């Protein structure tokens, strides 16, 4: 039965698409360089549509698994990661991938732990909160605000946090030879980055097997097969054994009372995979879109003779908030949290706080105005794309947060913000994209995130049971 969609939903969907189309056409008419920002915009829009369609949320995935034993979304995410890895591998093999692996060490797992706890508290991961905001969810909007503010403050925070910086990090950070405008000796994150993270090895599975990332064999065999398929199959097997097998065997034995064979288990495993079709399709489309975005961005960089959007912004006369090395955040693929930190960083800078003396903003990402920040265009369009899908499926509804949900959203956003900065990315940038591209730090973050989600579910259950017990104690039963 087809759902009847109110006419106003359809009108709003066209208004949103029309607005983005108008922005693209008008800015292109002003200057050719703005097409670079439009590229981010339209791919962001596609990501939003895919996320909403596939209900692609890591928090829901692990909460459903650990709290109620439903594996559908976790399985979907694993399959989506593998499908994305295939498209990423093909792009990498052409030599045009914009992906850069991150340093590998235990810090990724610790960061994942923070992030995992946070996403369960908040009821949505970084990407999930964006698409849920597009569905009109006020709690998700609060989560985004909390992630953004936490990151922007955390990256500049020195003071008492400086006391927790090991002397070796401080010394190593000072030796990096950063310009005077970057106060590298003050600020916990600065010294963590320059004194610790930058000293860690950067490796992909292909490189560790002696292959090159930009060859077909390195990308597809080294990174996709060994780096994604094998670990994903291991996780899927664990999920099948601990969460699916018992009920499946019970059902089989009830239907025909005979012993279960290995072939039955293979059928059960396949059935588990096929139950997650919608998330998998979304993952495949996300993967194709990410690959195409890499092509488009690299092509535009060549066309305009630049390596980073910062150069284009300066040429256009927007030199406020460009980093000391002339760059702005311009990943060339899907990313979520850094642009969220940037808009708060920009606001705080405008309010008089100096945010350009730290590595994160002042040396690497900059804080350009959100109006001309490429990655911000992507996030805004992502919310728009999700809103269009929600409107056209009758799933859009404004939901104001209650005081209790607001508390959890802010607390969860805080933990996710900390985790994102420690890992240099969120569930998208530090897990989904890195894992799919064979970056060894991706699974480390993933393991931490799963552990964090488990702890988060346990804390949340404890809180809920305690609250219910208190409420029940208020009732006076006559039995």
Per CB under 8 A, the list member of 307, 350, 466, 467 interacting with another protein is: 307
Residue owning tokens 């939901």: 399
Per CB under 8 A, the list member of 159, 177, 305, 352 interacting with another protein is: 305
Rounded distance between C-alpha atoms, residue 105 and residue 197, angstroms: 8
Q: Would you count residue 281 as binding another protein (CB under 8 A)?
A: no
Q: Whose Cβ is closer to another protein: residue 305's or residue 474's?
A: 305
Rounded distance between C-alpha atoms, residue 152 and residue 421, angstroms: 9
Q: Would you count residue 149 as binding another protein (CB under 8 A)?
A: no
Q: Would you count residue 306 as binding another protein (CB under 8 A)?
A: yes
Kindly state the helix (H) or strand (E) to which residue 365 belongs, with its residue range: none
- Name the nearest CA neighbour of 74 among 57, 99, 91: 57
Site residues for another protein, 101-140, by CB under 8 A, read: none
Per CB under 8 A, the list member of 64, 94, 145, 275 interacting with another protein is: 94
Q: Would you count residue 319 as binding another protein (CB under 8 A)?
A: yes
Site residues for another protein, 168-187, by CB under 8 A, read: 179, 181
Site residues for another protein, 375-394, by CB under 8 A, read: 388-389, 392-394
150-151-157-162 Cα dihedral, nearest 10 degrees: 110
Q: Whose Cβ is closer to another protein: residue 94's or residue 199's?
A: 94
Rounded distance between C-alpha atoms, residue 207 and residue 285, angstroms: 27
Q: Would you count residue 350 as binding another protein (CB under 8 A)?
A: no
Q: What backbone phi and psi angles, to 5 degrees, belong to 329?
A: -65, 120
Q: Would you count residue 298 as binding another protein (CB under 8 A)?
A: yes
Q: Which segment (169-177, 236-244, 319-327, 430-438) binds another protein by CB under 8 A?
A: 319-327
Kindly state the helix (H) or strand (E) to which residue 383 belongs, with its residue range: helix 374-392
Kindly state the helix (H) or strand (E) to which residue 122 belongs, with its residue range: helix 106-122
Q: Which segment (73-81, 92-100, 337-345, 369-377) binds another protein by CB under 8 A?
A: 92-100
Rounded distance between C-alpha atoms, residue 400 and residue 307, angstroms: 42
Q: Whose Cβ is closer to another protein: residue 268's or residue 321's?
A: 321
Rounded distance between C-alpha atoms, residue 80 and residue 274, angstroms: 12
Give me the least distance between CB of 322 and another protein, in Å please: 7
Residue owning tokens 């010294």: 191
Which tokens is 206 given? 């292909």
Q: Would you count residue 326 as binding another protein (CB under 8 A)?
A: yes
Per CB under 8 A, the list member of 90, 161, 202, 292 interacting with another protein is: 292
Rounded distance between C-alpha atoms, residue 172 and residue 151, angstroms: 23
Q: How far is the CA of 284 from the CAs of 201, 346, 430, in angstroms?
A: 30, 35, 19
3-class secondary structure per residue, 269-311: HHHHHHCCHHHHHHHHHHHHHHHHHHHHHHHHHHHHCCCCHHH
Q: Which segment (262-270, 303-311, 342-350, 401-409) binds another protein by CB under 8 A?
A: 303-311
Rounded distance between C-alpha atoms, residue 403 and residue 400, angstroms: 10
Task: Name the DSSP letter for residue 50.
Answer: H
Q: State the binding string over 14-53 for another protein (x if CB under 8 A, else -).
A: x--x---x--x----------x--xx--xx-xx--x----
Q: Which segment (3-11, 76-84, 109-117, 140-148) binds another protein by CB under 8 A?
A: 3-11
Cα 437 to chain centroid, rounded: 14
Rounded distance between C-alpha atoms, residue 134 and residue 396, angstroms: 8
Q: Which segment (231-239, 291-299, 419-427, 433-441) binds another protein by CB under 8 A?
A: 291-299
User: How many positions of this chain bind another protein (CB under 8 A)?
Assistant: 51
Q: Whose Cβ is closer to another protein: residue 312's or residue 453's?
A: 312
Per CB under 8 A, the list member of 147, 296, 375, 387 interacting with another protein is: 296
Q: Which segment (104-112, 151-159, 239-247, 289-297) binds another protein by CB under 8 A?
A: 289-297
Q: Would you count residue 219 as binding another protein (CB under 8 A)?
A: no
Q: Would you count residue 465 as binding another protein (CB under 8 A)?
A: no
Rounded distance between C-alpha atoms, residue 329 and residue 379, angstroms: 13
Q: Which chain residues interact with another protein by CB under 8 A?
A: 2-3, 5, 10, 13-14, 17, 21, 24, 35, 38-39, 42-43, 45-46, 49, 94-96, 179, 181, 214, 292, 295-307, 310-311, 314, 319, 322-326, 388-389, 392-394
């Amino acid at each position: 039965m087809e759902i009847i969609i109110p006419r106003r939903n359809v009108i709003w969907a066209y208004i949103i698409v029309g607005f983005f189309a108008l922005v693209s056409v008008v800015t292109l008419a002003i200057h050719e360089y703005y097409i670079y920002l439009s590229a981010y915009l339209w791919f962001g829009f596609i990501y939003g549509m895919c996320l909403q369609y596939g209900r692609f949320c890591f928090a829901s995935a692990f909460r459903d698994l650990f709290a109620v034993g439903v594996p559908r979304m976790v399985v979907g995410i694993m399959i989506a990661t593998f499908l994305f890895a295939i498209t990423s591998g093909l792009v990498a093999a052409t030599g045009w991938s914009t992906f850069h692996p991150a340093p590998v060490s235990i810090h990724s797992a610790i960061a994942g732990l923070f992030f995992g706890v946070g996403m369960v508290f908040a009821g949505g991961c970084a990407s999930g909160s964006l698409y849920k905001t597009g569905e009109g969810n006020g709690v998700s909007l609060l989560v985004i605000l909390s992630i953004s503010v936490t990151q922007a403050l955390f990256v500049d925070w020195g003071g008492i946090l400086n006391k927790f910086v090991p002397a070796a990090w401080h010394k190593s950070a000072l030796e990096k030879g950063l310009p005077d405008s970057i106060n590298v000796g003050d600020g916990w994150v600065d010294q963590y980055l320059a004194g610790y993270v930058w000293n860690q090895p950067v490796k992909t599975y292909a490189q560790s097997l002696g292959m090159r990332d930009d060859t077909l064999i390195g990308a597809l065999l080294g990174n996709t097969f060994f780096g994604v398929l094998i670990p994903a199959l291991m996780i899927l097997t664990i999920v099948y054994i601990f969460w699916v097998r018992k009920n499946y065997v019970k059902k089989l034995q009830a239907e025909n009372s005979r012993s279960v064979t290995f072939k039955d288990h293979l059928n059960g495993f396949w059935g588990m995979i096929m139950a997650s079709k919608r998330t998998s399709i979304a993952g495949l489309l996300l993967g194709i879109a990410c690959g195409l975005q890499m092509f488009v961005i690299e092509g535009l960089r060549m066309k305009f003779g630049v390596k980073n959007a910062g150069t284009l912004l300066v040429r256009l006369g927007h030199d406020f908030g460009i980093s000391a090395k002339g760059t702005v955040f311009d990943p060339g693929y899907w990313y979520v949290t850094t642009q969220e930190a940037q808009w708060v960083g920009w606001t705080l800078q405008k309010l008089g706080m100096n945010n350009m003396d730290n590595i994160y903003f002042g040396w690497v990402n900059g804080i350009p105005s959100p109006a001309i920040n490429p990655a911000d265009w992507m996030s805004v369009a992502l919310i728009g794309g999700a809103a269009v899908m929600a409107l056209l499926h009758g799933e859009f509804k404004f939901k104001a947060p209650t005081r209790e949900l607001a508390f959890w959203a802010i607390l969860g956003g805080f933990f996710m913000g900390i985790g994102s900065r420690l890992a240099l990315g969120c569930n998208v940038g530090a897990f989904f994209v890195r894992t799919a591209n064979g970056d060894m730090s991706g699974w480390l973050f993933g393991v931490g995130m799963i552990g964090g989600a488990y702890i988060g579910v346990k804390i949340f259950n404890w809180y809920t049971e305690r609250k219910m017990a208190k409420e029940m104690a208020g009732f006076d039963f006559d039995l």
